[in-house]
Chain A
Amino acid sequence: MTSELDIFVGNTTLIDEDVYRLWLDGYSVNDAVALRVRSGILEQTGATAGVLQSDTMDHYRTFHMLERLLHAPPKLLHQLIFQIPPSRQALLIERYYTFDEAFVREVLGKKLSKGTKKDLDDISTKTGITLKSCRRQFDNFKRVFKVVEEMRGSLVDNIQQHFLLSDRLARDYAAIVFFANNRFETGKKKLQYLSFGDFAFCAELMIQNWTLGAVDSQMDDMDVDLDKEFLQDLKELKVLVADKDLLDLHKSLVCTALRGKLSVFSEMETNFKNLSRGLVNVAAKLTHNKDVRDLFVDLVEKFVEPCRSDHWPLSDVRLFLNQYSVSVHSLDGFRHQTLWDRYMGTLRGCLLRLYHD
């Protein structure tokens, strides 16, 4: 006696959270059944393996049917086929779009293209996340990217409106979209110590300050692209290191202000010119796409690593960066104060976040 057909349809669609997680994690029905058996559910409920198999199949089928709707979450809200309480709808969406930290670190900043998709095999092996789950996560990134890429207005708002994600998750997606669009390099060995959260933090600051939308939300442009004009202008900052007098003045201003306040004052003093050159050069190079991509590599190389090798405590880094930014206002010969603030304000935030072991 073999079962040809076996279905259960409720007026309210039954969602089993545990099975949903197994499904999202990309387990096959058989693996999921095995995992559920291991969880001791048979003993708790007195069910048989056959029942469990049938139940799992049924849930998988339901999820499969729901997946089409989950690709456009507003559809899930308005569709009539599945009667699902709003709280459950939100749970389905939120879980579907939730991604693994390990996975996102592999993909962050990469072009969301077919090429990358081909590499998912390797990512799956490397991270231990099933290929199916990798695909779902990758497709989610790509789908969100495609929808909001050309849209005006706030990136986070757009994502929330079209995917009904929680605030937190929408912010994460904004970062992913932003990174994918600007193709920031995040995979270098040097950057391995950074978490997705670190990058997301930086992304948010950059979206808020360095994009076109940051200047004027009414602009016909969006949050995903960096403000090209701004990047061009950044060249002007070069004077801070190119002009020797200016550089010396800057250094003396910072040193005067920080004397006695830093535990690593002497190291700072000796390194000041190097550090300043590093930070300003990063800015000046941002006109080239290639250098934009290497932004984080540069920041780590030019600033984080030197400080770390001298064992600067985070508090000293903060003091230094604050003073470093502020002192520029006292440089009479320097005319690009707003430009400097726009650049340094964001960079300071990023560097502080990036500065850890």
Chain B
Amino acid sequence: MPGKLKVKIVAGRHLPVMDRASDLTDAFVEVKFGNTTFKTDVYLKSLNPQWNSEWFKFEVDDEDLQDEPLQITVLDHDTYSANDAIGKVYIDIDPLLYSEAATVISGWFPIYDTIHGIRGEINVVVKVDLFNDLNRFRQSSCGVKFFCTTSIPKCYRAVVIHGFVEELVVNEDPEYQWIDRIRTPRASNEARQRLISLMSGELQRKIGLKVLEMRGNAVVGYLQCFDLEGESGLVVRAIGTACTLDKLSSPATFLPACNSPSKEMKESPFNEDPNPNPHSSGPSTPLKNQTYSFSPSKSYSRQSSSSDTDLSLTPKTGMGSGSAGKEGGPFKALLRQQTQSALEQRGGSPHRFCRRREFPFLTLTAFPPGLLVHVGGVVSARSVKLLDRIHNPAFVGIMGNTRSYKLLDWNSFNSDEPETRDAWWAEIRQEIKSHAKALGCHAVVGYSESTSICEEVCILSASGTAAVLSPRFLQEGTVDGSLEQRVEENLPVGCGFCHIPYDELNMPFPAHLTHCYNCRKQKVPDVLFTTIDLPTDAVVIGKGCLIQARLCRLKKKAQAEANATAISNLLPFMEYEVHTQLMNKLKLKGMNALFGLRIQITVGENMLMGLASATGVYLAALPMPGGIQIAGKTPSDGSYEQHISHMQKKINDTIAKNKELYEINPPEVSEEIIGSPIPEPRQRSRLLRSQSESSDEVTELDLSHGKKDAFVLEIDDTDAMEDVHSLLTDVPPPSGFYSCNTEIMPGINNWTSEIQMFTSVRVVRLSSLNLTNQALNKNFNGLCENLLKSLYFKLRSMTPCCLCHVNFTVSLPEDELIQVTVTAVAITFDKNQALQTTKAHAEKSLQRASTDNEELLQFPLELCSDSVPSHAFPAAKEHPESASSNSGTPAAQRATSVDYSSFADRCSSWIELIKLKAQTIRRGSIKTTVTVEKASPMGDGNFRNRSAPPCAGSTVGVVKMTPLSFIPGAKITKYLGIINMFFIRETTSLREEGGVSGFLHTFIAEVFAMVRAHVAALGGNAVVSYIMKQCVFMENPSKNQAQCLINVSGDAVVFVRESDLEVMSTQQPAVNCQPTCTGEVTT
């Protein structure tokens, strides 16, 4: 019994009217955790009940604490008939289970009903007491922190990056169970929500166990996905990167954590607890000095039940996480650790990293400086599978059991079945690994996995960037001198990662190499494609831009295997075309590298869609890209040739225009040094992909266009003409806008604080008549372009701004429907500063590195012990400077960006005044004020005078949301835990709710609201690395019905404005400007 969960129901507000007769509600609340349920009293006849309940206490296993959500149901009491449910709140209590995050969850939660949406709010307080329990055979993994952020979180330092962790659990989908035929849609939806909540809790716990086994204490880049396989079940899978993190205790982070109710006391770093013997294989944990047990009656069957593809769980001799005392400080700890690890390694395990995990994959997209040595290129693998019904014989059996919600692993019951989801993924990962090897890389970074399902066909995709990571991670502590030197030499220049990792004489694919344009020593490829973010130290010329390749392919409707075969036959062509489009568009932009590449292939009934998004940049280290040449195949016709030359001119103009637009003006390089003509005629791809069908046959695709010159576009038919046209139809964003799909926009580094995260969804119906590939492509292109145009228009008031982390998702919900979902964040920046910073790239990037990653900079400390500290401190000093230059923009200017107009100002002060006034009225002090008012009826002054300083503040705290890992102009001081929420909304009155648009608009707004409420209840004021992983929308307009499933996740954080930091440091009251501005606008 290692934990006690305590819940208090305080009050409700804005409840719906449940009793038509009285226009009121008799509400009470059921609090359920596991199998225990408590009830509050019925609060009669009120829409704003004040229950103020006692503390409901649940004594539970920590295993359950991790798996189970707290379920709060608000009901309307009915004496004669069954009580009507008003709605529910699910609270994930996981953030309370690790020491550094929140200690209490307290706040207003929207009461959610899957049919009616949000129906009022409820105020709840939740606490957890954990007890020490030293049992090494535990099944819980309390204390392992999870981060969606795909880089080392801002207030942590990576001590060790352990590697890839993955897990998946499978269950029957309640929607497809027989019982679904007799239960209400509400019951069915709730069963699903609850099941998925349970499954993700379990999944997280299991991943946590793996992390503990690796001696890590955190998972970074945690990505959890659902595969709704319909009849065949429900798969929840997750991947992440296990790390040992150490909390940075810089003075700046030790600020009053805003309104956070969490105790500062608990902020101590993980490994501060004295851990006397890190080498022992005993229950030494890097967390608090606690471990938890489960009742001994349960057998420890983790190995058999886990979906782990790892061959063994032997690496017990891995490095323990640091153990220095408090006084030692981080540096000492690190040094000690380093020697420790060196010792350990001498103990006979040379390839620590590789040996540890079967798959040397990292889900990170940004890295501590020094980790990433070389980048080979994108590796991807796809596989088409046929879904079978997931047999889960045990499931039926436990339905009546008290623990029926307990989930069962796929593997535990089907371990002898060859076609498990696990095996599928293992296969694909194996392929990725071999591709990486072929590129001379031993690791894959920026790794991600996805699926696309249509009926019983499923495409599994995985992609990442083959890379060489710092040898310090991979080889013995006694370093290989030459290699080390090379790294040291290259890193400062910011081009090292571009250098080829493979052997020049034995290239895995035909590519054209030149000497690096930056250091002139190593070889670089002509073009570089990656799935990671632009390294902070990369030297970039000009700005970046979003580049998309879009593609549709019709396919015949078919069944089962014929369908799978048809799809796998189409895939190579799609990959090829997507790649060609990307390459062409990149050239058209005058750029030579792609970052954050994400290729999504979606399967529908009668078509396949491909959408690739990436951020194009010009890397100074790579050669200047050649142009695009057009050639006609039949050069007989004069007018035809004229047309060709016209097109050629247009293309050349576009390239020139783009170069100007993105400020790409690389310094002229004398050609002798480079040794090759600059408009490089032969361009080669470095994508290595393969498709494999269930049969395991692997076809490797050479995307290098055989022996032809790749960028001579031959126009031999109308199709080709269309392609060229479509190249030119992509219009650049209007002035003042930039866009990228990476974390930061290359070339812009002076963000101001205004951010706007948004989700936009479009569904279009294709006219079913004469659908051709061309028409489809055109439609799809138009859809995406229009969507972007709409975004630019909507956000025009924010200019100059940049759309960052633009994330497009395509799905094909029905025959002729295409759904595109975009989530992104618009961030304003200071234009004037932007113009000045185009020069001095190296300096700039260095500075950027210091501002964005100043914490991370300390990372190399443990690695290259001596040289770096001298570097790290100036960097740390530089940070406040850059911060102040950032906030050097007059405060007034910043204020205007928030306050919309003077009129609005006036209004806001009114509201505040009125609020105060309302308070006075309630206190009954109205007598005096009224008489004063009566005396001088026209006196405007009274009103103003009465309202004391209007600092009351807004009633609902603002919670920012962003898909990025940072908040511009602010410092994240605390991570409160992962937010991972799944909602279903259904309606049987679609028209009444404003049609499909009204329905989905409301639902997405509600999802945002629930995310914000949870974050606020944890004491946070922002969600970073927010992602909408799934938005499955189904409609049936003829029946007036629609249903939507949304899955979102992110990291709840506390941030402090950098400007506030300064104000606080100079001992000025932060609210100084507040009264003055509100004071003068009351007239």
Contact = CB atoms under 8 A, between A and B. Distances in A.
Interface of A: 1-14, 17, 45-48, 50-52, 54-55, 57-58, 61-62, 64-65, 75, 77-83, 85-91, 93-94, 153-154, 156-157, 160-161, 164-167, 204-205, 208, 214, 217-218
A81 B1009 contact: yes
B937 A205 contact: yes
B956 A52 contact: no
Given A79-B14, A81-B1009, A87-B904, A6 B914 contact: no
B790 A54 contact: yes
19 contacts: A1-B766, A4-B763, A11-B758, A58-B1001, A61-B998, A64-B998, A77-B955, A80-B118, A80-B1013, A81-B118, A81-B1006, A85-B908, A87-B904, A89-B908, A91-B907, A93-B911, A160-B917, A161-B918, A167-B943
Nearest to A153: B926
A94 B901 CA distance: 14
A5 B764 CA distance: 7
Given A11-B961, A89-B911, A208-B937, 19 more contacts: A1-B782, A8-B790, A8-B794, A9-B758, A9-B1001, A10-B757, A10-B758, A11-B756, A45-B734, A47-B789, A51-B789, A77-B956, A79-B956, A80-B1009, A90-B907, A91-B907, A166-B907, A166-B910, A167-B910
A17 B907 CA distance: 14
Nearest to B775: A1
Nearest to B1004: A9
User: Which of the four size classes fits the interface of chain B?
Assistant: 35 or more
A8 B1008 CA distance: 13
Please give me the 9 A-B residue pairs with the lowest Cβ-Cβ distance, nearest first: A90-B907, A87-B904, A87-B908, A5-B763, A10-B758, A9-B1004, A11-B757, A4-B763, A11-B961
Contacts of B767: 1-2
B178 interface: no
B388 interface: no
Contact of B108 (A12, A80, A154): A80
A90 B908 contact: yes
Contact of A217 (B931, B937, B1001): B931
Given A8-B794, A161-B921, A77 B764 contact: no
Contact of A157 (B898, B921, B1009): B921
Given A2-B765, A4-B817, A8-B794, A80 B121 contact: yes
Interface string B764-799: 111100000000000100110010011111101000
Nearest to A4: B763
Given A51-B786, A80-B110, A80-B1009, A5 B762 contact: yes
A3 B762 contact: yes
Query: Which of A11, A14, A58 is the most central at the interface, judged by chain B CB atoms within 10 Å of its CB?
Result: A11
B300 to A, nearest CB: 43
B1012 A83 contact: yes
B790 A86 contact: no
B955 A64 contact: no
B994 A90 contact: no
Contacts of A153: 921, 926, 930
Interface of B: 13-14, 108, 110, 118, 121, 734, 756-767, 779, 782-783, 786, 789-794, 796, 817, 819, 898-901, 903-908, 910-912, 914, 917-918, 921, 926-927, 930-931, 933-934, 937, 940, 943, 954-956, 958-961, 994, 996-998, 1000-1002, 1004-1006, 1008-1009, 1012-1013, 1033, 1035
Contacts of B1009: 80-83
A104 B766 CA distance: 49
A55 B997 CA distance: 13
B765 A167 contact: no
A345 to B, nearest CB: 11
Contacts of B905: 87
B997 A5 contact: yes
Contacts of A62: 1001
A2 B1037 CA distance: 15
**Majority secondary structure of chain B interface residues (helix, strand, loop or mixed):** helix
A198 B765 CA distance: 57
A87 B899 contact: yes
Nearest to B14: A75
Contacts of B1001: 7, 9, 58, 61-62, 65
Contacts of B904: 87-88, 90-91
Given A10-B757, A12-B756, A80-B1009, A214 B934 contact: yes
B997 A7 contact: yes
Given A10-B758, A11-B758, A204 B934 contact: no
Contacts of A161: 914, 917-918, 921
Nearest to A167: B943
Contacts of A93: 907, 911
Contact of A55 (B794, B900, B1013): B794
Given A1-B779, A8-B790, A83 B1008 contact: yes
Query: Which of A8, A54, A64, A161 is the most central at the interface, judged by chain B CB atoms within 10 Å of its CB?
Result: A8
Nearest to B735: A46
A2 B783 CA distance: 10
Contacts of A87: 899-900, 904-905, 907-908
Contacts of A166: 906-907, 910
Query: Which of A6, A48, A50, A166 is the most central at the interface, judged by chain B CB atoms within 10 Å of its CB?
Result: A6
A2 B779 CA distance: 10
Contacts of B796: 45
Nearest to B954: A86
Query: Which of A5, A14, A64, A156 is the most central at the interface, judged by chain B CB atoms within 10 Å of its CB?
Result: A5
Contacts of B734: 45-46
Nearest to B904: A87
Contact of B930 (A14, A80, A157): A157
Contacts of A8: 758-760, 790-791, 794
Nearest to A78: B955
A87 to B, nearest CB: 4
A93 B915 CA distance: 14
A94 B907 CA distance: 8
Query: Which of B898, B910, B997, B1004 is the most central at the interface, judged by chain A CB atoms within 10 Å of its CB?
Result: B910
B898 to A, nearest CB: 7
Nearest to B907: A90
A80 B1005 CA distance: 9
Given A3-B763, A7-B1004, A153-B921, A77 B998 contact: no
B793 A52 contact: yes
A86 B1077 CA distance: 14
A61 B783 contact: no
Contacts of B934: 208, 214
Query: Which of B108, B763, B779, B898 is the most central at the interface, judged by chain A CB atoms within 10 Å of its CB?
Result: B763
A9 B1033 CA distance: 16
Contacts of B791: 8
A164 B910 contact: yes
Given A85-B898, A90-B911, A154-B926, A80 B758 contact: no
B1008 A9 contact: yes
Nearest to B1033: A5
Nearest to B1042: A5
A270 B758 CA distance: 76
A61 B994 contact: yes
A48 B760 contact: no
A3 B955 CA distance: 38
B274 to A, nearest CB: 44
Contact of A47 (B793, B940, B1002): B793
Nearest to B819: A5
Nearest to A223: B930
B1008 A11 contact: yes
Nearest to A81: B1009
A167 B997 contact: no
A75 B16 CA distance: 13
A59 to B, nearest CB: 9
Contact of B910 (A2, A83, A90, A204): A90
B759 A1 contact: no
A52 B789 CA distance: 10
B793 A45 contact: yes
